[in-house]
A and B are shown apart, each in its own frame.
Chain A
Amino acid sequence: MMGRGLLGIEDLDRDDIELILDTAQHMKEVGEREVKKVPTLRGRTIINLFFESSTRTRTSFEIAGKRLSADVVNFSPSSSSLSKSESILDTAKTLDAMDPDAVVVRHQVAGVPKRIADVLDAPVINAGDGAHEHPTQALLDLMTVVENKGRVDGLTVTIVGDIAHSRVARSNVYAFTKMGAEVRVAGPPTMMPVEVESLGVKAFTSLREALDGADVVMALRIQRERLSGSMLPSVREYNATFGIDRAKMRFAKDDAIVMHPGPVNRGVELSHDLTDDRPSVILDQVRNGVAMRMAVLYLLAGRKRSRNEEAS
C-alpha cells in the first residue's frame, strides 16, 4: 500500500497504481498551462538525496516539486565519503532533522532507500536503488502506454536488454503484470536472471519470438562497462542480436510503440532513426515523468509518520 513513501511497485496494488495514474493525468494538464505552477505544496520542503548521480531523474523531480510550489533542495554527497552504510543513515538523519516533507533517494545499492525510510519521519520516494526498483520510471512508462494505447490490460509488452541488472525492468515487470499486461523479457542468457519466470513473465533468448505480436517494445539501457566484460562479446554483436531497428520491429504488431528509459546508446539498444521518430515515444516518457513525479509528490509529501500515528 502507498501509505508512507514509495519504495517499489512491488508494494502497490492495482488501486494504488490507478490512483497515481489518474492523478498524473491531471498534473499533466498543469504542465500544459501558461502558468505551470500550482500552490499545492507551498511551504513544504523536498530533498533530492542522490548518492548516485542522475541529472535527468533529479531534474525531473526538481521540476515536479517546483511546479507544486515546494522548495526543492538537491543534496548529492559523493559516494566516496559515504561508503559505509552507517554514514549513509547518519546523513539521512541529519537531513531529517531539517524537517523535510519528502526525501527522494537514489543509491547504487539495492535496499538503501528502504533503510533510510526506516529511520526517517518524512516519506521516502525511491528514485532508483541498485538493481532493485525504480518505481517512478515504471509509473511514467505505464502512463505513456495508457496515453498511446488507451489501456494496459491485455497488451503484450516485451522488455529487451540486461534484465538481470535493471531496476527499470524489475519495476516494469511488477507494474505491467499488476495492470493486466502479458510481459515478456528478452536478452542474452548472461543477462537473464535465474527463475525470472517466477515473476509472472515469459523469458526469451530469441528476440524474434519475443517480439511476435508485441504491442509495446521496451529497450533497456546497456551499461557500457558491462559490454566490455564477460557478459557480452561486443557492442556490435549485441546490436545485431538485440538492438531494435525498423526491420526487427516488423515482428511486432504494426502499431507497436518503442520505449526506452534513456539515455539511449544510439546504435546499440536502438537504431538512430528509431531513437528520434515514431513509433518511439521516448520524449513522451520524459514529459510524463514530470507529471508522474508531481502526482507522487502530491500524494505523499507531508504525510509524516509521527503525525499520522497521532491522528490514528
Chain B
Amino acid sequence: MRISHELIERAEAPEALYLVGIPNGGVPLARQIARNLAEIADLEVPVGVLDTTLYRDDLVSSGARPKLRRTEMPSAVDGHVVVLVDDVASTGRTIRAAMDALMDFGRPSAVQVVALVDRGHRELPIKIDYVGKNIATGRTDLVKLRVSGETDAETMEMVLLRGEGGTSA
C-alpha cells in the first residue's frame, strides 16, 4: 500500500503507468498494486506479465532447461512508464533480463522497478526505485515470500531461511 502511494506521488503522469509483474512472485504483487491504485486514485492501470526465462544469461550448456512461464502484455508499452514488479530483488540479473524482454515489446518512455524485498548482493548497476523492505542477507540465505492466492496479495508472510540454498531472485 505504501509503495502504491509512492508511485502516485512520484509519478509525473500517473495515467501513463503500466505495471508488469515478473513471474512468479511479481504477478500477484502487480495485480495488488493495480487494485490499490484504482482505490487511491481511481486509476485504471494496465497489468502485464513478462517471463524473463528466454532472456536469462545463465542458460548453461548442460542440464535441464528451466520451465517457461507465461507472458501476457495486454497492450503496447510505447509511451508508458513501465513499472517492473518483482517480489525479491537481489543480483539484478532478473531485472536486466526483464528490461531486455520489455524492449522487444516497444519503447516505454521510462522504466522503473518495484521490489517488495531488496536483499542486496547486486551484481549489475541496477537501482530499485521502490523498495518494500531492505533485508540484510548472506549470499546463501533464501528469502521466501508467502503470498496468499494468485490474485490477492493482501496477506504476505516473509521467511528468511539462513544458508539454505542459492539466491532465489
Contact = CB atoms under 8 A, between A and B. Distances in A.
B71 A26 contact: yes
A175 to B, nearest CB: 21
Interface string A25-47: 01101100111011110000000
B59 interface: yes
B62 A30 contact: no
A303 B71 contact: no
Contacts of B105: 33-35
Contacts of B71: 26, 29
A38 B65 contact: no
B87 interface: no
Contact of A19 (B54, B67, B101, B104): B67
B125 interface: no
A168 B154 CA distance: 51
Contacts of B104: 33-35, 37-38
Interface residues of A, number: 25
Contacts of B63: 303, 308, 311
A303 B61 contact: yes
B54 A303 contact: no
Interface centre among B54, B55, B69, B105 (most CB of A within 10 A): B54
A310 B67 CA distance: 23
A113 interface: no
B70 interface: yes
A37 B104 CA distance: 8
A101 B51 CA distance: 24
Contacts of B55: 38-40
B77 to A, nearest CB: 11
Nearest to A308: B62
Contacts of A209: none
Interface in B50-93: 51, 54-55, 59, 61-63, 65, 67-71
Contact of A26 (B62, B68, B100, B101): B68
Nearest to B70: A26
Nearest to B72: A29
A310 B55 CA distance: 26
A22 interface: yes
B95 to A, nearest CB: 16
Interface in A1-60: 19, 22-23, 26-27, 29-30, 33-35, 37-40
Contacts of B68: 22-23, 26-27, 298
Contacts of A35: 104-105
Contacts of B69: 26
Contact of B54 (A40, A302, A310): A40
Contact of A38 (B54, B61, B62, B106): B54
Contacts of A303: 61-63
A310 to B, nearest CB: 8
A30 B67 contact: no
B67 A23 contact: yes
Nearest to B68: A26
B61 A302 contact: yes
Contacts of B61: 101, 302-304, 307
Contacts of A302: 59, 61-62
A299 interface: yes
A298 B54 CA distance: 9
Interface of B: 51, 54-55, 59, 61-63, 65, 67-71, 100-101, 104-106
8 contacts: A22-B67, A33-B104, A35-B105, A38-B101, A40-B54, A303-B62, A304-B62, A310-B62
Interface of A: 19, 22-23, 26-27, 29-30, 33-35, 37-40, 68, 101, 298-299, 302-304, 307-308, 310-311
Query: 6 smallest A-B Cβ distances: which pairs?
Result: A26-B68, A38-B54, A35-B104, A40-B54, A307-B62, A302-B61
Given A35-B104, A38-B104, A39-B55, 14 more contacts: A22-B67, A22-B68, A26-B68, A29-B71, A34-B105, A38-B54, A40-B59, A303-B61, A303-B63, A304-B61, A307-B61, A310-B62, A311-B62, A311-B63
